[in-house]
A and B are shown apart, each in its own frame.
Chain A
Amino acid sequence: MGGNSPCASCKLLRRRCAKDCVFAPYFPPDDPHKFAIVHKVFGASNVSKMLQELPVQQRADAVSSLVYEANARVRDPVYGCVGAISYLQNQVTQLQMQLAVAQAEILCSQMQQGPVMPTQQINEDDHEKSYFLHDNLIPQYINFDSSSSTVIHDSFKRESIFRHDMVS
């Protein structure tokens, strides 16, 4: 980086790595694949513009999310990240249904036992947490057929996106 080894971006682009290279902090020379995949999907010029428009403290997260999206797009050229979103949204819907069934079962049970039993009603706090009463985050028009995305589904299970590199 700078006067030392050029960053992965400048190595790939075959140019001098300046001291204030916008890529250098986020694309170290020991991980060339990380920049290669981002460059393939977004292009170095676009990534540079995106990073320059952000405050410095947000750039690391931006790079992580760009790497994540680029990896998703390379693995699934048709659906990219949207395949994962669709899959996760289905999971949420299924869980919501299971929760509704379970809560209905409790209500039935309470009704059968009558007023003697201590109430085991859902707390008000739980209602607030019942996100299925709230608007879904995902626009309802998303109805992508993610049948081609089965390969990437396992990788989008609960994992810390910003704590380990999707590239490796």
Chain B
Amino acid sequence: MISGRCAACKYLRRRCPSDCIFSPYFPPNDHQRFACVHRIYGASNVGKMLQQIPSHDLRAKAADTLYFEAKYRIQDPVYGCVGMITQLHQQIHNAESELAKTQAQIAFLNSNDHAQESQVQNIETKLHPDSNILILPEQINAAGGLWSYVPASATSTDQTSWF
């Protein structure tokens, strides 16, 4: 079947048998795919690796991943796709640091919120039922202006009872 040779057998200039291990995964219309894989692994090694995989679907995936790795090895002869793994590790490290920083900010904001709420509660509990003091929201400074509050009807000597 000379006219129906797979890319591998075309490349290797041989007859393509009906049970060719390469033909399902290296179609004749994509000669570069086999060329990449052959350049890095060699046809013999690729054939052996594919033979060891029991199912057709898994062999197809294996051929895809071999092509992927071979392509990256040709593009980067020193690190191949391992360079990508290193970069991903770095990305993960950066993301974890960023996340930790952000979560610390959230914790800080939440603790500030709780502090403000407890300050507000302290003001309210110190009010006497018969007090004629009117507390306006703007008189309570969120940045800790509790000490700047001056009751409307209090004299200077009365202020000490608030603290």
Contact = CB atoms under 8 A, between A and B. Distances in A.
B114 interface: no
Interface string A114-152: 001100100000100111000001100010110010000
Interface residues of B, number: 50
Contacts, number: 146
A130 B99 CA distance: 11
A108 to B, nearest CB: 10
18 contacts: A42-B42, A42-B45, A43-B45, A45-B42, A46-B39, A50-B40, A50-B73, A53-B77, A69-B69, A91-B92, A102-B99, A106-B106, A113-B113, A129-B94, A131-B91, A138-B84, A144-B65, A158-B92
Given A45-B42, A46-B40, A109-B106, A62 B92 contact: no
A5 interface: no
Contact of B87 (A81, A116, A137): A137
A23 B81 CA distance: 22
A119 to B, nearest CB: 11
A58 B108 CA distance: 47
The 10 closest A-B pairs by CB, nearest first: A95-B95, A88-B88, A65-B82, A102-B102, A82-B65, A43-B42, A109-B109, A78-B62, A62-B78, A58-B78
Given A77-B53, A106-B106, A156-B85, A65 B92 contact: no
A142 B71 CA distance: 13
Nearest to A89: B88
Contacts of B83: 65
Given A84-B85, A137-B91, 18 more contacts: A43-B44, A53-B77, A65-B78, A65-B79, A65-B82, A65-B83, A77-B62, A98-B99, A99-B95, A106-B109, A110-B109, A116-B142, A120-B109, A129-B94, A142-B68, A144-B64, A148-B58, A161-B86
Contacts of B103: 102
B109 to A, nearest CB: 5
A82 B68 CA distance: 8
A95 to B, nearest CB: 4
A131 B106 contact: no
Interface in B92-111: 92-96, 98-99, 102-103, 105-106, 108-110
Contacts of B40: 42, 46, 50
Interface size of A as a range? 35 or more
B49 interface: yes
A165 interface: no
Contacts of A129: 94, 98
Interface string B127-145: 0000000000000001100
Contacts of A137: 84, 87-88, 91
Most chain A CB inside 10 Å of its own CB: which residue of B65, B92, B93, B110: B65
Most buried by A among B82, B84, B108: B82
Given A106-B102, A158-B92, A69 B86 contact: no
